Amino acid sequence: MNPFTRRHLLACLMAATLPAWARDASLPLMLAQTADPGIDPAGWLVSEKYDGARAFWDGRTLRFRSGLPVAAPAWFTADLPTEPLDGELWLGRGRFEALVSIVRRQLPVDDDWRTVRFMVFELPGAGGTFEQRARRIEALARTHRPGPCEAVRQQVVPDRAALQRMLQAVVDGGGEGLMLHRADALFVRGRSPLLRKLKPLSDAEAQVIGHLSGRGRHAGRMGALRVRTTEGVVFHIGTGFSDAQRESPPPLGSWISFTHHGLTGAGVPRFASYLRLRSL
């Protein structure tokens, strides 16, 4: 049995033991929409978007966004507050792959977990505005210090130019982007325009080396392109195509332009999306 199959079966067995709300991935979380690049930050609180593993603490159990439990050491969760928290398990900028290898291990290693921080940015289901909830998070983090719980710093940004400077500074430092949360917003569950993510969009080129068949609505036509960058990185692009482009995809050997949100530690473009056939 290959490692992927073992992991898949383990996830299924674990999910079968969860309550219905966890199996349905219906955790009480607020999810972000993508921000317009020219968004005016007036009325928003801005923080760094941490490149970690989303985690929900219900006061007793720490879970991933999927609802599956996080196999954290008992001492790690013992230091958390008794009220629900939403945040990211985080090691530091540019260390996503290392973080994942730690938090997905079923037998936690204490020395590894001592480097993990729980960066808290929301109090699910709590009353008051987000500005008030942010102050409450800061108070909780101070009360439970020292410990893994840390309040995400929320900032008032005066104008669009300052927001772009902040975004550039975070990205230049190895960060992923920014989060904007309406300061006067009450907590709502699900994807909401009251929470926005702002990330830089990069573009690059790659050569088409394969066509992957589509499934479901795209059965009988191209589902994704297999491409190779000039650096030799091979990956798949499955979004950004019109129906007409899926019916008649870019030919093998052609070069395309695509957009992405930075690179993984292995150099693979994140969230790659087809842009256009490159002009010769």
Q: Which of 49, 117, 133, 246 is catalytic?
A: 49
Complete DSSP assignment for the chain: --HHHHHHHHHHHHHHTS-HHHHTT--S-EEEEEPPTT---TTEEEEEE--SEEEEE-SS-EEETTSPBP---HHHHHTS-SS-EEEEEE--TT-HHHHHHHHT-SS--HHHHTT-EEEEEE-TT--S-HHHHHHHHHHHHHHT-SSSEEEPP-B---SHHHHHHHHHHHHHTT--EEEEEETTPPP--EEEEEEEEE---EEEEEEEEEEEEB-GGGBTSEEEEEEEETT--EEEE-SS--HHHHHSPPPTT-EEEEEES-B-TTSPBTT-EEEEEPP-
The yes-or-no answer on residue 49 being catalytic is yes
End-to-end CA distance of the chain: 46
| Catalytic residue list | 49
